[in-house]
Amino acid sequence: MELYLKESYGNEPRSYIIRDPKDNTTLHIEPTHNKTLPSVKLEIHTRTNINERNSNYTLITQSIKGFLGFIEISNQIYICTIINSKKIAQPTPNESIDCIQSVRFFCVTDSRYDVFDKRMNADYSNPHSGSSSESYDSYDYYENEIGMPGGAYNGSVGPDGKHPCADLTKLLTNGSFFYSTDFDLTSPLQKRGMPSKDDKYVFKMDSIEREYMWNSFLMQDFLEYHDALTDESEKQLLNRFITVVIRGFAKTELSYVGSLRISETIISKQSWKRAGTRFLSRGIDDDGNVANSVETEFGNRTRH
Q: What is the mean pLDDT of the chain?
A: 78
- Out of 223, 247, 271, a domain closes at 247
| pLDDT value at residue 51 | 60
Chain centroid to CA 147: 30
- Structural domains of the chain, count: 2
Biggest CA–CA distance in the chain, Å, is 72
CA 61/CA 19 separation, integer angstroms? 11
Same domain, yes or no: 140 and 281: no
Chain centroid to CA 66: 5
| pLDDT value at residue 121 | 56
Whether 136 contacts 162, CB under 8 Å = yes
| pLDDT value at residue 15 | 87
| pLDDT value at residue 97 | 95
Strand partners, 73: 76
For residue 117, what are the domain limits?
Answer: 2-247
Same domain, yes or no: 207 and 297: no
Same domain, yes or no: 278 and 137: no
Bridging pattern class, strands 95-107 and 76-92: antiparallel
Q: CA dist 195 to 92, 160, 200, 202, 217, Å?
A: 8, 50, 9, 12, 30
Same domain, yes or no: 71 and 50: yes
| pLDDT value at residue 39 | 81
Same domain, yes or no: 90 and 219: yes
Same domain, yes or no: 218 and 267: no
CA 183/CA 203 separation, integer angstroms? 8
Same domain, yes or no: 204 and 295: no
> pLDDT, tens digit, for every residue of 160-182?
567 788 889 999 999 999 999 98
Which segments of the chain have a pLDDT < 70?
A: 33-36, 48-55, 115-161, 197, 276-281, 304
Half-sphere exposure of residue 86: CA atoms within 13 angstroms, side-chain side: 10
Of 167, 115, 123, 178, nearest in space to 142 by CA: 115
| pLDDT value at residue 14 | 83
Same domain, yes or no: 102 and 163: yes
Same domain, yes or no: 284 and 235: no
Same domain, yes or no: 125 and 266: no
pTM of the predicted structure, to 2 decimals: 0.79
| pLDDT value at residue 139 | 42
Same domain, yes or no: 266 and 228: no
Same domain, yes or no: 57 and 191: yes
- Out of 247, 270, 289, a domain closes at 247
| pLDDT value at residue 131 | 42
| pLDDT value at residue 36 | 66
| pLDDT value at residue 297 | 93
| pLDDT value at residue 287 | 76
